[in-house]
Structure 1
Amino acid sequence: MASSILQNDFTACSICFEKFRIPRCLPCSHLFCHGCLLSYIVTSCESKETPIGFLCPLCREFIPSPVPTDKPENWADKFPRCEMLEKYNSLMESRLCSACQRENEEEEATNICLHCEDALCLICTKYHRRNRSSSTHKIIPLNHPEAIMQLTAALQQNEICPKHPDKDIELYCNDHNEACCTLCVSMEHRKCESIDDIEKAAGKIKKSDNLQALQEGLGKYEVDLQKAKKNNEDNISEIDNNSDLIIVETKKLKREIIEQLDKLESEHQDELSKVTKESRE
């Protein structure tokens, strides 16, 4: 997703060309303001009797309705909100050190910590690097052109323990074949005999003969899924087009039937008038 954001100006909406206001992310990974996306969806669907989706304003990929039974006016609410981009834009606007603000101080921020998502001034950056718990954190300039991309990538790589959201996954229990955090090990895996750190466990998996077979199998599944996805999108697009065509044909047939009935009624009235006139004579 991050690379797609950078293909256009990732701080500005490509519809209104202004800074994002409540950015929403489409399945194709393109971002738009909530209001801009809402207006676009409503406009693109207003000519359709029963819309089932719309085309992305940028890549023109067909986007199915997130809730088929809902009205197009409500579709924009269902797409995920990109809170990371909002946070980055907020940091860029204030340009104040997050650590100093927590102490009711105001210092200009120059860097951003990808791990903590905090903006940092020069002094806080120095102590952030000196602190043992944060010495391994990656810090880059706040105005770095790829800051949001690296920030998003860092979050994607940072695996959070599902049982303890405030802890990172650092260990792997071979007895249970389960990745876990330090708290999990101390509470649930105390009697387990084989526990490795996550990097060592990953190294063992890479050396395993099963990994290549698994990768080949996943590659085949990926190809099949891409084909199925393409077929599904084509079918949805065809259904969308056919539904519009059926509506047009139905209205045309209705008009022809009414015209034929009007013609029969006129002929019947003429015949009745003729018979009535002859009878009177």
Structure 2
Amino acid sequence: MATAESKILEKIDENFLVCTVCSERYRNAKILPCLHSFCEQCIHKLVQKSCGKNIPCPVCRRVHDLTKGASSVQSNVFLNELVVLLGKRHEQTNKVEKCGGCLQGSVTTYCIDCTFGLCDICTSAHKRIPSTKSHHTMTMQAYEATKSADIAMVQPPVYCSHHPGNQLKLYCDSCDIPICIECIAINHNITKHNCRYLKDAASQYATDLTQVTDILAEKEKEATESKENVQQMTELLENR
């Protein structure tokens, strides 16, 4: 079953997490109005090439006006979450053997914002550096327990492309996009839009993905068994 699950995750990675422009795994995936997603840097190159106007989608060729640049395009938070999750599949229970700061010390703390573990010395330094002192850290034991209970709680913060500095903490089901608090006041009034916490939406999508993965695993098992039966029948007929 573990082998089947690994194969399915590899297929998900190859078929859904690869940018069709650069043919590499998404790096900060952005979703165009036509609902096709690409790396931010790939969209940026398209914007530079056409000066931000009349940019055709590389997939459906629908034209978009991106005069405000690639940073104005909505991030595809779910694709980015999947990239992070699948990128860590090779780590056993997400335990980090070496410190992500000095690459030598034993890990005792995990930084959610940096997405790597720290030793005691680097943890102390982390809290003193202006650019990282506000980062959310927790002991590895607490990190693993929280991750098992609710993985959305230990994912790095994602910021709103329309209101820089504001974290995406809510999800608008009416528009099917993640939003920040300021977005509600401007474009997603709660009297007209159905909004909920982003972590709740992410948990639902994670559950749905798990169910789909289980179904695909069962289908792959059935396909393998059918293939084996056909091979056995072929051999039987050939030996007659």
TM-score surpassing 0.5?
no
Q: Which has the larger radius of gyration?
A: 1
- Structure scoring higher RCO (CA < 8 A, sep ≥ 6) equals 2
TM-score of the two chains, using structure 1 as the length reference: 0.32
TM-score of the two chains, using structure 2 as the length reference: 0.37
**Structure richer in helix, relative to its length:** 1
